[in-house]
Structure 1
Amino acid sequence: MIGAMICEQRYPRAVQPVRRTSLIAQVTEALRAEIREGRWPVGQRIPTEPELTELTGTGRNTVREAVQALVHAGMLERRQGSGTYVIATSEVGGTLAKYFADAQERDVLELRLALDTTAAGLAAQRRDDADIATLRRLLAERGEGGWANADPAMIAADVELHRAIVVASHNAVYLEFYDSLLPAIEQVIHARTAKSDDSYDTEHAELVQAVIDGDADKAMRATHCFLGSLIAEYPDRKTT
């Protein structure tokens, strides 16, 4: 035993070369960190493969496999002809996003009734100047598009507006859970534009103003009224 230790001291083991799989893991973790720290927010398209190759200083195959690992983890989603988008900030969020992807529209709205209402009340109490500026900008962007024409920019602004209210709640756990629901929320909005051209502009303006004014009760009432009206458009499921 001692002899073996002396031998190892005199002739140390050769340093193992960095394996390609280890490099992929390093790049995967680097990309995961960009997402986790908010530099690539949920809903945003990540840089292209050539750009990621340059950013990481690695080959395209390594980048491709790292991105695919995050796709499998549920943090990224490839969209044909559009690119790769962030859909969750963690593997847990990605798992939830996959679950919500098959949810019924009414179920998603009923979940939002609880989440958005509470978030609106917290946001009214905790919003700061940066939150207020973001809410005003997104409300204006939301009003620039055409709901009846399913304007992608308008739908994106609508989704981001409601997310910004959750951001303004300054509750990180709340935001992580809400982010996992965003793809399902966007899917419901797209489906609804084919059924109705009512954009609820007045209700959204009242909600944002209540948050800005710091009126938690009014913000919660506005959210509950708006989402309650949307839920009423769907037939209820009676139990026997």
Structure 2
Amino acid sequence: MTPELRAADRRSLVDTVVEQLRNQLAERAWRVGDRIPTEHELADRLGVGRNTVREAVRVLVHAGLLESRQGQGTFVRSTADPSAVLRGMKQANVRDVLELRIALETEAARLAATRRTRDDLRRLRAGLRALHQHGPQPEGAVQADDDIDFHLAVVAAAHNTALTEVYGYFSSSVREALVASLGQDGMPRLDLETHTALVDAIESGDPQAAETAARNLLMSPLRAVEALIPHDTDTRP
């Protein structure tokens, strides 16, 4: 069934067309892999010029939602709008971020234990040295940057392109949550022993030990965050 498209007004025509096409994609008007209508067809339905449609399509191609294939047309690549995902991530609280980190990083550690290379291990050991240089007192953004680099190295050692891309996209929210928690009353300091245990487990080649080490590393700050949340605002089932 061909989706209905409303005629665009004269206000910022390209933005209007982009928004309408985003909405159609979000509502699954076209499935992943479907070819969308031609520029001529979209221009007629929206009451705008083909140049306006062409520019709007380029915006969505750049955003990763559409894919142009020479001589074939434009196809749906994804119905999940990355910008909407990013906006949602910006609204996540520290507990949300930690829970997602546990899900991603325990699997990354498990894979890294069997796939890590010598270069991966060198990067992980260098990351540990950078964290040790900060000493016992947290240093806010500087320490957060080094900690994020360490965890990015763990994920990279899994050699899973999709996981690396997802975590990289997510890392800005991780950093914000980490900066917010460092030095906060009730929050544990960054534990160098658990970070070292994670690298040791990955180097040993034991997937279960690596997964457990990654979980242990993140459970301490998660428990601290949960202890700070009043029971009447805890929305978990």
TM-score, length-normalised on structure 1?
A: 0.58
Partner of 1:82: none
For the 8 Å contact 2:188–2:221, the answer to whether it is kept is no
For residue 103 of structure 1, give the secondary structure of its aligned residue in structure 2.
coil
Gaps of at least 5 residues in structure 1 are 1-68, 75-90
For the 8 Å contact 1:125–1:216, the answer to whether it is kept is yes
Distance 1:215 1:94, change over 3 A: farther
For the 8 Å contact 2:131–2:143, the answer to whether it is kept is yes
Equivalent-residue separation in structure 1 for 2:141 and 2:93 (angstroms): 22
Range moving further from structure 2, 156-165 or 191-200: 191-200
Equivalent-residue separation in structure 2 for 1:189 and 1:137 (angstroms): 20
Letter in 1 for 2:192: D
1:132-172 CA-to-partner distances (Å, cap 9, x unmatched) read 11001011001111463424332211101111111010000
Distance 1:160 1:94, change over 3 A: farther
Give the Å deviation of 1:228.
1.4
CA RMSD, 1 decimal: 2.7
For residue 137 of structure 2, give the secondary structure of its aligned residue in structure 1.
helix
Equivalent-residue separation in structure 1 for 2:198 and 2:84 (angstroms): 31
Gaps of at least 5 residues in structure 2 are 1-57, 64-79, 227-232
Distance 1:186 1:216, change over 3 A: same
2:200 equivalent among 197, 200, 209: 209
For residue 233 of structure 1, give the secondary structure of its aligned residue in structure 2.
helix
For the 8 Å contact 2:138–2:190, the answer to whether it is kept is no
Partner of 2:234: 237
For residue 225 of structure 2, give the secondary structure of its aligned residue in structure 1.
coil
Letter in 2 for 1:162: H
Letter in 2 for 1:145: H
For residue 212 of structure 1, give the secondary structure of its aligned residue in structure 2.
helix
Mapping 1:193-204, distance limit 5 Å: 193-195=182-184, 196=187, 198-204=189-195
Give the Å deviation of 1:215.
1.4
For residue 198 of structure 2, give the secondary structure of its aligned residue in structure 1.
helix
Equivalent-residue separation in structure 2 for 1:95 and 1:163 (angstroms): 23
For the 8 Å contact 1:93–1:176, the answer to whether it is kept is no
Partner of 1:6: none
- Amino-acid identity (%): 28
Partner of 2:39: none
Letter in 1 for 2:204: D
Give the Å deviation of 1:107.
0.5
Q: Are 2:104 and 1:115 aligned? A: yes
Q: Are 2:149 and 1:152 aligned? A: no
Equivalent-residue separation in structure 2 for 1:99 and 1:231 (angstroms): 20
Mapping 1:175-190, distance limit 5 Å: 175-190=164-179
1:227 equivalent among 218, 222, 230: 218
For the 8 Å contact 1:123–1:168, the answer to whether it is kept is yes
For the 8 Å contact 2:106–2:214, the answer to whether it is kept is yes
For the 8 Å contact 1:117–1:224, the answer to whether it is kept is yes
How many residue pairs get aligned? The number is 155
1:36-66 CA-to-partner distances (Å, cap 9, x unmatched) read xxxxxxxxxxxxxxxxxxxxxxxxxxxxxxx
1:143 equivalent among 118, 132, 146: 132
Distance 1:132 1:95, change over 3 A: farther
Partner of 1:132: 121
Distance 1:234 1:214, change over 3 A: same
